[in-house]
Structure 1
């Protein structure tokens, strides 16, 4: 089996999700983070990218730089996969309530999967964040028991 040797050094400066704000508007930046959520429909896909406790919304839609197969590929990337994204920072018309970076979003130009996560994880972040006895609209919501959380400490 041949040895993989990466001899090319990629010279890109990664910006932390926490540091993305209005001052970076209309600038193209690189971000590395995990896919927290993904919603694809037709010719566009909405991603929430998470790095540590900060989140930002990223939008990828078909245009002169992005093809429809690329949008379709992005919708198939599993949750918690680590990705590098090149995108332009844009101001949002209204605050994004589901993200910590509420006033800005990324218009995606390129996406690279750094590390792909398993398609079905034993523990979802949403389940781990719920209280021990969660009831939503009168229905018992899923939660992670202690054994599952201890077996999957890397995710929790």
Structure 2
């Protein structure tokens, strides 16, 4: 790619990670190399199985996912900061065509690292690398920096009828 852009998929609706996975699959099928870093998440959602079926895609998780209903512990903070450091290294080395930062804004929301930490890493974005950032609560500064922003708005969700996450659909 001659020019890579920054995407932000945010909002309270379902589909942010799913959209990022879709873009990642499209990129791999076009011969591009994709890195998919997941912040906060520790459970092996089915998308990580893409590595078993598609070449040139790497998933890595930087979270335990267990603090959502309580304060993050130091281990959560350390894992998230390790992830941000890994992203910086990937950008400096210009190793991937597409870099996904899944749930990055959630990690910021829970103060696992700061917006300034993120902006300092994004400064290393190579001109030709596409960056996808997902998660609720994207701060205005990140939205302003982005070239493409999609706000997923929840209109209706079956969760409120008692339907929990379904294998292969929601996880």
| Alignment TM class, shorter chain as reference | under 0.3
More helix as a share of residues: 2
Q: TM-score, normalised by structure 2?
A: 0.25
More strand as a share of residues: 1
Q: TM-score, normalised by structure 1?
A: 0.26
Higher relative contact order (CA 8 A, sep 6+): 2
